[in-house]
């Protein structure tokens, strides 16, 4: 067996070096893994900062946001939420529990408001997703 200058076998030095490297890499791997956890309903960083342009009367559910965040409409005119967030599921849920789209990742949800007022809503899956419909 090959020997190092200290009288210990060379193999002992290699094992010791690997343990040292593992000691350094283990905390770093936990930090990296923490950033790669599977989405479980918490906040998610959006892909872009510029809000998309959407047709009148429509709210785009994309980039973990309602765009626009505030929409003006009139009594009897439908509002459509279009789900397009790469397969990520969201809800359109009234703060007063008067409506709920259920979990959706594609397609549209439509609601017509029969009285003027302010309707606040949110996504039950992502706490920071909030929106407002102003009905006149």
Main-chain dihedrals φ then ψ at residue 89, nearest 5 degrees: -80, 140
Kindly compute the dihedral angle of the four CA atoms of residues 114, 115, 117, 121, in this order, to the nearest 10 degrees.
-30
What pLDDT does 72 receive?
Answer: 97
What pLDDT does 53 receive?
Answer: 79
Delimit the domains of the chain by residue range. 1-36, 58-135
Beta strands per DSSP E along the chain: 58-62, 65-67, 70-73, 78-84, 93-94, 106-112, 117-122, 130-135
3-state secondary structure at position 50: coil
Q: How buried is 13 (Cβ within 10 angstroms: 0-12 exposed, 13-18 middle, 19+ buried)?
A: middle
What pLDDT does 37 receive?
Answer: 40
Per-block average pLDDT, block size 10, for the chain (136 residues)?
Answer: 55 57 55 45 57 86 96 97 97 98 98 98 97 98
Chosen CATH of 58-135 out of 3.40.718.10, 2.60.40.420, 3.30.420.40, 3.40.1350.10: 2.60.40.420
What pLDDT does 35 receive?
Answer: 43
* pTM score, whole prediction: 0.64
């Amino acid at each position: 067996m090959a020997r190092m200058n200290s009288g210990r076998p060379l193999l002992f030095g290699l094992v010791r070096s690997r343990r040292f490297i593992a000691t350094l890499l283990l905390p770093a791997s936990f930090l990296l893994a923490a950033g790669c956890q599977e989405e479980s309903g918490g906040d998610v960083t959006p892909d872009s900062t510029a809000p998309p342009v959407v047709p009148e009367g429509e709210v785009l559910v994309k980039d973990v946001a309602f765009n626009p965040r505030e929409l003006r409409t009139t009594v009897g005119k439908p509002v459509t939420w279009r789900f397009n967030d790469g397969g990520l599921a969201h809800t359109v849920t009234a703060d007063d529990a008067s409506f709920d789209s259920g979990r959706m990742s594609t397609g549209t949800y439509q609601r017509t408001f029969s009285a003027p007022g302010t309707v606040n809503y949110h996504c039950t899956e992502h706490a920071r997703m909030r929106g407002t419909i102003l009905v006149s």
